[in-house]
Amino acid sequence: MSGWVDGLFAPFVEFSFMRRALVACLALGLGCGPVGVLLTLRRMSLMGDALSHAVLPGAAIGFLIAGFSLTAMSLGGFAAGLTVALLAGLVTRFTGQREDASFAAFYLISLALGVLIVSSRGSSVDLLHVLFGTILAVDDASLLLVASIASLTLLTLALIYRPLIVECFDPGFLRSVQARGTAYHLMFLVLVVLNLVAGFQALGTLMAVGLMMLPAAAARFWAQEVWSMAAVAAGIAVLSGYIGLLLSYHHDLPSGPAIILTAGMAYLLSIVLGHRDGLIVRFLPRKHLQT
Amino acid sequence: MHPAALSLDNLTVCYDRHPAVHHLSGAFAGGSLTAIVGPNGAGKSTLLKAIMGLLPATTGRIDHAALARSDIAYLPQQAQIDRQFPITVLDVVLLGHWQRIGALRAVTAELRAKAVAALAAVELNDFQRRPIRSLSAGQFQRVLFARMLLQDARLILLDEPFTAIDARTTADLLDVVRAWHAEQRTVIAVLHDLEQVRAHFPETLLMARSGIAWGRTAQVLTPDNLRRARQMAEAWDESAPPCGVRP
């Protein structure tokens, strides 16, 4: 029994790289959870995916210039993600192109460019690093970066929470009581890109978006207001990080996929068990109430 | 007569050069209760959007007199509202306090009490904590009226507020409109039910892109005027020549 309980804590007590990884997951979850909830509410779930791929060429250029430096790769990734988000946004506003189509177009260009750059100069091992991340090799500098991004995200969200939600729920009303909500939308897109950059350090560009979308998608089965959904999503993200790290330690699995698969399990369980629209509630309904 | 709250001076509003509102001039008196009627495509909603500044005037101008944006409340026709959004009825109504709370200021107990009172005024007691996704179309329209009650606006624009709303809800919401009128607020509503207009709206603007008649409802809604409004060309003529009316 004590061995079993030990297994829950020992890896983190014993190894500093596990402690760093855990703290990184904590920070990532706190930032990514709420951002993911707002992305799903804005019906932009797949935009997060597109942006996460768009980060790649920037990270690759950073890699070419400075080698395996997380700072350089993060800066590059941030610039590339933001460029794609802004270009897609501008094309949507000034032409008739729909937002999802223009995001898809730009991220595909960006992704191909990224793979081209990495494979022409680096080895396939490097490419794997960029694509799948290295949460067990997070150093102090990148830990600081991830934590700063999480703090900045929560602070910014607190400041723009009300208009962001109104812009999402009833954009016409926001326009009728004050100027356009475009500024809030842009600030939010910056937060999305920042969190993807934070996530890609740990989980790689391919899976960074997993910790954003899976907990958010699960949260809607448990809560019915935005703030509670964000809290549930952050909780699921942090727990997925913890459990995923334990699984990867005890069963010698790669940590990134272990974390995302844990979040995926949380999503599947929520579909079945969630008390808001979950399958059990839907197919085993309780007796209805009097009118 | 009260001074005009809003006047239109030779206003034309176009979509791709095709006018939806055509050389319309006139004034809504302060404290007046006006119905805008006319066939589909007559430019009624376009006029309200232009008044709100959501569409630019192609020619002519709209004089808002002393009204600021915060003095105008607007209920669009097909609000782009996400009715599945996870938000409670009370939170939606509280948005009516936007001019007082903005993005950052707190909702005080006093503001909250006013919101609860507004919900009571549209007969939605005990709905505060309900998520909006559980409301019917009529209940949701009551919520939007409660939100407008809090906006405390001097000019209120309603675009087909009673379409797809049952008789009892319509009657209740008409009471709200009458109360606004009694408080000397200027109310402009786009409507289709002529009986309703004759019964509750003292003034009417009948339009078919151009203004057909504007004034006391009984003098506007005559068979002759209504026939002229119906004759408006529905078609969008691609080869229409440029308009010859002097601006």
User: Which of A162, A175, A225 is closest, CB to CB, to B103?
Assistant: A162
Closest CA to A199 of A40, A55, A4, A16: A55
**What is the interface size between A and B, counted as CB pairs within 8 Å?**
60
* Together in a domain, B114 and B134: yes
Q: What is the CA radius of gyration of chain A?
A: 20
Output the pLDDT for position A126.
65
Q: How many domains would you assign to chain B? A: 2
- For the segment A161-176, what is each residue's pLDDT rounded down to a tens digit? 999 999 888 888 888 8
Say which residues have a Cβ less than 8 Å from residue B182's Cβ, sequence separation at least 6. Answer: none
Task: Identify whether residues B7 and B58 lie together within a single domain.
Answer: yes
Residue B178 domain-assigned? yes
Mean pLDDT of the A16-35 span:
92
Report pLDDT for A180.
67
pTM equals 0.86
Mean of the pLDDT values across residues A176-188? 81
B197 with B220, same domain: the answer is: yes
The verdict on residue B77 lying in a domain is no
pLDDT at A186: 86
pLDDT at A146 over 70: yes
Instruction: Assign residue B215 the CATH number of its domain.
Output: 3.40.50.300
Contacts with B246 (C-beta within 8 Å, 6 or more apart), sequence order? none
> Is residue A14 very low, low, confident or very high in pLDDT (cuts 50, 70, 90)?
confident
A226 and B54 within 8 Å at the Cβ level: the answer is: no
What count of residues does chain B have? Answer: 247
Give pLDDT, residue A127. 64
Tokens of A189: 């897109």
The structure tokens 């009128």 sit at: B181
User: In this structure, are B130 and B199 located in the same domain?
Assistant: no
Beta bridge partners of B10: none
Q: Is residue A182's pLDDT more than 90? A: no
Question: Over chain B, what is the mean pLDDT?
Answer: 90
**Per-residue confidence (pLDDT) for residue A207, from 0 to 100:** 83
Residues B173-200: tens digit of each pLDDT = 999 999 999 999 999 999 999 999 999 9
Q: Which of B103, B124, B151 is the last residue of a domain?
A: B151
Q: Which residue has the higher pLDDT, A83 or B3?
A: A83
List pLDDT tens digits, range B87-138. 999 999 999 999 899 888 999 999 999 999 999 999 999 999 999 999 998 9
Residues B167 and B62 in one domain: yes
Interface of chain B toward chain A, CB-CB under 8 angstroms: 52, 54, 69-70, 72-74, 76, 79-82, 85-88, 91-92, 95, 98-99, 101-104, 131, 151
Predicted local confidence at residue B146, as pLDDT: 95
pLDDT band (50, 70, 90) for residue A201: confident
SS3 of residue B203 by DSSP: strand
Together in a domain, B164 and B45: yes
B39 shares its domain with B89: no
Judge whether B210 lies within some domain.
Answer: yes
Q: How far is B51 from chain A (nearest CA, A)?
A: 11
What distance in Å separates the CA atoms of residue B10 and residue B27, rounded to the nearest whole number?
Answer: 11
- The least confident of A8-17, A19-28, A210-219 is A8-17
Output the CA torsion sign for A100, A101, A102, A103. Answer: positive
To 10 degrees, the CA torsion angle through A13, A18, A24, A25? -90
Residue B246 confidence (pLDDT): 59
User: Mean pLDDT across chain A, nearest whole number?
Assistant: 87
Residues B59 and B177 in one domain: yes
Decide if B213 contacts B206 (C-beta within 8 A).
Answer: yes
Confidence band of B237 (pLDDT split at 50, 70, 90): low
Whether residue B166 is found in the same domain as residue B229: yes
**CA–CA dist B13, B20 (Å, integer):** 6
pLDDT at A118: 76
Long-range CB contacts for residues A145-149, cutoff 8 Å, separation at least 24: A145/A70, A145/A71, A145/A74, A145/A198, A145/A201, A146/A24, A146/A27, A146/A28, A146/A198, A146/A201, A146/A202, A147/A23, A147/A27, A149/A27, A149/A31, A149/A194, A149/A195, A149/A197, A149/A198
Cα–Cα distance between B139 and B157 in angstroms, integer? Answer: 20
Q: Which of A185, A176, A181, A157 is nearest to B147 (CA)?
A: A176
Instruction: Establish if B243 belongs to a structural domain.
Output: no
Helix (H) or strand (E) holding B5: strand B4-15
Question: Crossing angle for the helix pair A210-219 and A45-54, nearest 10 degrees?
Answer: 170
The yes-or-no verdict on residue A108 having pLDDT over 60 is yes
CA distances from B214 to B2, B26, B30, B44 (A): 16, 8, 15, 13
As a whole number of angstroms, the distance between CA B197 and CA A228 comes to 45
Over 80: is that where the pLDDT of A218 sits?
yes
The answer, yes or no, to whether residue B234 has pLDDT greater than 80, is: no
CB contact under 8 A, B86 and A170: no
B43 domain-assigned: yes
Do B134 and B23 reside in the same domain of the chain?
no
CA distance B221 to chain A (A): 31
What are the boundaries of each domain within chain A?
A: 2-283
**For residues B45 and B197, what is the distance between their CA atoms, to the nearest angstrom?**
17
- Check residues A65 and B38 and name the one with the higher pLDDT: B38
Widest CA span of chain A, in angstroms? 70
Out of B123, B151, B179, pick the residue that ends a domain.
Answer: B151
B interface mutation test: which of A176, A187, A225 has the most B CBs within 10 A?
A176
Residues of A in contact with B86 (CB under 8 A): 41, 220, 223-226, 229
- Nearest chain B residue to A169 by CA distance is B82
Does B166 share its domain with B226? yes
On whether the CB atoms of residues A164 and A188 are closer than 8 A, the answer is: yes
Interval A39-92: pLDDT, tens = 999 888 888 888 888 888 888 888 778 776 777 888 888 999 999 988 888 888
Please tell me whether residues B57 and B167 are part of one structural domain: yes
The answer as to whether B247 is a domain residue is no
Please check whether residue B33 lies inside any domain of the structure. yes
By mean pLDDT, which of A15-24, A60-69, A150-159 is the weakest? A60-69
Residue A2: pLDDT band (50, 70, 90) is low
Q: What is the mean pLDDT of residues B9-34?
A: 90
Q: Which residue of A44, A156, A157, A162 to mutate against B (max B Cβ within 10 Å)?
A: A162
Domain range for B57 is 1-67+154-237
Instruction: Answer whether residue B72 is part of any domain.
Output: no
Q: What is the CATH number of domain A2-283?
A: 1.10.3470.10
Query: Which of residues B151, B174, B198 is at a domain's end?
Result: B151
